[in-house]
Amino acid sequence: MNPLLYVRKEPYKLYINGEFTASESGKTFDIINPVNNEPFAKAYKGGTEDVQKAILAARKAYDEGPWGRMSAKERSKLLIKAGQILSKRVEEFAVIETLECGKLFMSALYYEAQMSIDAFEYFAGKARCLEGKVVPSEVGHLNYVLWQPCGVVGEILPWNGPMMMGCQKVCAILAAGNTVVIKPSSWASLSMLLIAEVFHEAGFPPGVVNVVTGSGSEVGDELVKSPLVDMVSMTGGTEVGKQIIGRSKDTVKDIALELGGKSPNIVFDDVNIDEVVKWARAGFTLNSGQVCVSGTRLILHKNIYEEFITKLKVECEKFIPGNGFDYEKGVNFSTLISKEHANNVWSYIEKGKLEGARLVMGGKPYIDDELSKGNFVPPTIFTDVTQDMTIFQEEIFGPVLCITPFETEEEAIQIANSTKYGLAGAVFSTNIKRALRVAEKINGGQIYVNTYFSKGMIESPGTGWKESGIGVAGIYKYMISKTVFIDMIDDSAPPM
């Protein structure tokens, strides 16, 4: 397969009000392959005027268009149709995602693309199960609660899983009955520009889905500030999330933020070490560590400390770095998204060394001509990491693991909860009572017991505690409740 056969020669266009269009400025930007930092395509670069047009289109489609009058069943059928169209183009999407984000092709094809199709199917069903409730009230009175769409939603996406995350969020937004303006990350715009074609072919009315590329400070900020946008949902880093909180204050709009993490992975001394090292390895290296819920702080019982680390290193040495398309050569570890991001990760690695953590693996660039063209950072393991160290406290978002020893259950929980984040966490122990006790005490919205990463992610609420976010992931994030109060008594009088 030649991946470049899937790449268009002309710049990828924005999608506004049902039309594929160049940006108002006519400016384009290069799409870079992070495996070699070479441009392989171009896309139009959206700006303020483009996003304002998209917001107006989404507003009109919501307030006046056929979308607002469609039943949940009709919305559901459109989502099913779009999912079927996507499933016929799955290879193309996986290729583009691999090229643009430096992913492993097999993972893009058999996991992320499949999860994206699943999002259409799941939310098509969900659209038809949005029930309110009747609230017990006084005799002669009836109160009921409806869940209604928020209206126009601005969806701001990160670069680490743009296709899967984009589909999960946009399908939920549409199933709930909203219209949407999608702002993908500048490092990963293509999958959402292509998904616009899927919605278009499925027959979504103009303005219901819009995709505008561009910078966060211009296009993203306009979505956050605009009084015509009812709700902004953003997935990304905590610092940008804080800016959005500040910038949304003038319109008091609903915001949902899925932000960064520094998740603890607690391993007790009663486990099967050979099995758990595999989970610990996956926990910090999946997608080269660019996963929000990565288990980047391994909190390891003193009794198994050295043996576990030795075995973990052996497992990590099995990685074969390279181009994600080279699966036949066994490549199972890929590049980071950009030079800029890799430099940031390297600066954390230097800080770890300077602050006195013990580097036991990685920490230096690969010596290989091909790999040095990309943004590869090898799996890097620091041990004896203390709670005051920067690498313990801050999200690195690369394949860097910090290991801290513990002796008692209380100490493990204290270490686990001593960062500003609260996204996810894990506990490994064959003592199920202890495992569940610890799971209950870890501060975080997703906790894994004797495993790492979730199954049934789309069906389960994910919430960022502390500085990891605001709001519960899922369809109700994009809905707003309304309670209707009914007086059924003929001669009732107003309160005095």
Of 326, 53, 74, 46, which is closest to residue 214 (Cα–Cα)?
46
Stretch that binds ligand NAD, among 5-13, 95-103, 228-236, 400-408 (CB under 6 A): 228-236
Query: Which candidate in 258, 395, 409, 467 is catalytic?
Result: 258
Q: Is there binding between residue 185 and ligand NAD (CB under 6 A)?
A: yes
β-pair partners for 256? 233
Tell me, yes or no, if 150 is annotated catalytic: no
- Convert residues 145-184 into a mask of x (bound to ligand NAD by CB under 6 A) and - (unbound): -----------xxxxx----------------------x-
Q: Count residues near ligand NAD (CB under 6 A).
A: 30
- Binding ligand NAD (rule: CB under 6 A), the pick from 97, 100, 221, 254 is 221
Which tokens belong to 188? 């990963």
Report the nearest approach of ligand NAD to the CB of residue 261 (Å).
5
Q: Is there binding between residue 259 and ligand NAD (CB under 6 A)?
A: yes
- Convert residues 287-306 into a mask of x (bound to ligand NAD by CB under 6 A) and - (unbound): -----x--------------
Of 97 and 395, nearer to ligand NAD (C-beta) is 395
Report the nearest approach of ligand NAD to the CB of residue 354 (Å).
23
The string of DSSP codes covering 201-258 is HHTPPTTSEEE----IIIIIHHHHH-TT--EEEEES-HHHHHHHHHHTGGGT-EEEEE
Q: Is there binding between residue 32 and ligand NAD (CB under 6 A)?
A: no
Stretch that binds ligand NAD, among 28-36, 62-70, 133-141, 256-264 (CB under 6 A): 256-264
Of 31, 359, 407, which is closest to residue 184 (Cα–Cα)?
31
Q: Is there binding between residue 240 and ligand NAD (CB under 6 A)?
A: yes
Q: Is there binding between residue 18 and ligand NAD (CB under 6 A)?
A: no
- Convert residues 36-55 into a mask of x (bound to ligand NAD by CB under 6 A) and - (unbound): --------------------
Is 468 within 8 Å of 239 (Cβ atoms)?
A: no
Report the nearest approach of ligand NAD to the CB of residue 263 (Å).
10
Report the nearest approach of ligand NAD to the CB of residue 237 (Å).
3
CA dihedral for 321, 322, 325, 328, sign (positive or negative)? negative
- Binding ligand NAD (rule: CB under 6 A), the pick from 236, 321, 398, 474 is 236
End-to-end CA distance of the chain: 78
Report the nearest approach of ligand NAD to the CB of residue 161 (Å).
6
Stretch that binds ligand NAD, among 7-15, 57-65, 75-83, 216-224 (CB under 6 A): 216-224
Of 268, 260, 272, 261, which is closest to residue 436 (Cα–Cα)?
268
- Using N-to-C axis directions, what is the helix angle for 90-101 and 162-175, rounded to 10°? 120
Report the nearest approach of ligand NAD to the CB of residue 450 (Å).
22
Helices (H), 35-112: 48-63, 66-69, 72-88, 90-101, 105-107
β-pair partners for 321? 333
Total residue count of the chain as it appears in this document:
496
Stretch that binds ligand NAD, among 95-103, 116-124, 258-266, 299-307 (CB under 6 A): 258-266
Any idea which residue has 């609260």 for tokens?
A: 422
Cα separation, 291 vs 452, in Å, equals 12
State whether residue 353 is helix, strand or coil: helix
Q: Which residue is nearest to ligand NAD (CB)?
A: 216
Report the nearest approach of ligand NAD to the CB of residue 77 (Å).
29
Of 322 and 445, nearer to ligand NAD (C-beta) is 445
Is 182 within 8 Å of 211 (Cβ atoms)?
A: yes
Q: Is there binding between residue 477 and ligand NAD (CB under 6 A)?
A: no
Report the nearest approach of ligand NAD to the CB of residue 414 (Å).
23
Number of H helices, E strands in the chain: 17, 22
* Pairing of the two strands 421-422 and 254-258: unpaired
- Binding ligand NAD (rule: CB under 6 A), the pick from 170, 190, 244, 304 is 244
State whether residue 153 is helix, strand or coil: strand
Cα separation, 54 vs 208, in Å, equals 10
C-alpha angle with apex 295: 422 to 389, nearest 5 degrees?
75
Of 396, 401, 384, 283, which is closest to residue 346 (Cα–Cα)?
396
Q: Is there binding between residue 234 and ligand NAD (CB under 6 A)?
A: yes
State whether residue 265 is helix, strand or coil: strand
Tell me, yes or no, if 292 is annotated catalytic: yes
β-pair partners for 152? 179
Report the nearest approach of ligand NAD to the CB of residue 213 (Å).
9
Of 211 and 292, nearer to ligand NAD (C-beta) is 292
Residue 421: φ, ψ to 5°:
-90, 160
Q: Is there binding between residue 474 and ligand NAD (CB under 6 A)?
A: no
Which tokens belong to 462? 């994910």
Query: Which candidate in 167, 292, 316, 402 is catalytic?
Result: 292
Stretch that binds ligand NAD, among 30-38, 76-84, 214-222, 274-282 (CB under 6 A): 214-222
Which residues are marked as active site?
A: 258, 292
Binding residues vs ligand NAD (CB under 6 A): 156-160, 183, 185-186, 216-217, 220-221, 224, 234-237, 240, 243-244, 258-261, 292, 395, 397, 423, 464, 469
